Amino acid sequence: MFIGHFGVGLAAKKIESKPSLGTLFLAAQFIDLLWPIFLILGIEQVKIKPGSTAFNPLTFIYYPFSHSLFGVIIWAVLFGAVYFIVKKNLRASVILGLLVISHWILDLITHIPDLPLFPWLDLKVGFGLWNSVPLTIIVEGAVFFAGVYFYLSSTKTNNKTGIYSFWSLIIFLVVVYIMNIIGPPPPDAKAIGYVGLSQWLIIAWGYWIDKNRTTAN
């Protein structure tokens, strides 16, 4: 899942308005921001294998530190704790921690059984939504556009930049999503890692958007 995670980050603004949209994106996509680093360093492994699922050409060989349930819970606690230390907002800290965990839950729905529960066990899970391209697009699209709706219903723009910055991000994410579906598979695992690091641009984009929007009354 890709845009679905950002949809959850957008929707979270309706629940807790204090964190910036950039912070909400950072939490919702946190383990997919760690994963490219681990790939580049050779700590985790993925193979390009077209046909491994109908939707995704990647076979996830080894990624227990970023994507095991146990690992994600640890990252969630650390994320929430750091936010609490900095901002002293318990409610927002808990919600951000839950956003980190939400990534694994959405991955559980989409992945085939390749998500480890614990780093030291071979037991892996996944419901396999990626085996159907139409269903994947419908489910992920619904999550994403629900997030767009909830974000727009909970914020208002301060200026034209608040409009353009938001809608340009939405268009950008949709275009990237479509290109991932129809484009060729990546050449190798390292390329996936370096492209994955570009997601930090989206985090920065979220901070830019929220600087030009405020919580709606």
Per-residue model confidence (pLDDT) at position 18: 94
Closest CA relative to residue 5, chosen from 129, 139, 141, 106: 106
Note the pLDDT tens digit of each residue in 132-143.
999 999 999 999
| Residues 191-209, mean pLDDT to the nearest whole number | 94
What residues have CB less than 8 Å from 206, skipping those under 6 apart? 9, 20, 21, 22, 23, 24, 25, 26, 169
Closest CA relative to residue 132, chosen from 112, 115, 114: 112
Per-residue model confidence (pLDDT) at position 10: 97
Per-residue model confidence (pLDDT) at position 217: 64
Q: CA–CA separation, 104 vs 122, rounded Å? A: 17
Per-residue model confidence (pLDDT) at position 186: 82
Burial class of residue 127 in the structure, from the number of CB atoms within 10 Å of its CB (0-12 exposed, 13-18 middle, 19+ buried): middle
Entry pTM: 0.95
The residues spanned by each domain of the chain are 3-215
Note the pLDDT tens digit of each residue in 58-93.
999 999 999 999 999 999 999 999 999 999 999 999
Per-residue model confidence (pLDDT) at position 121: 87
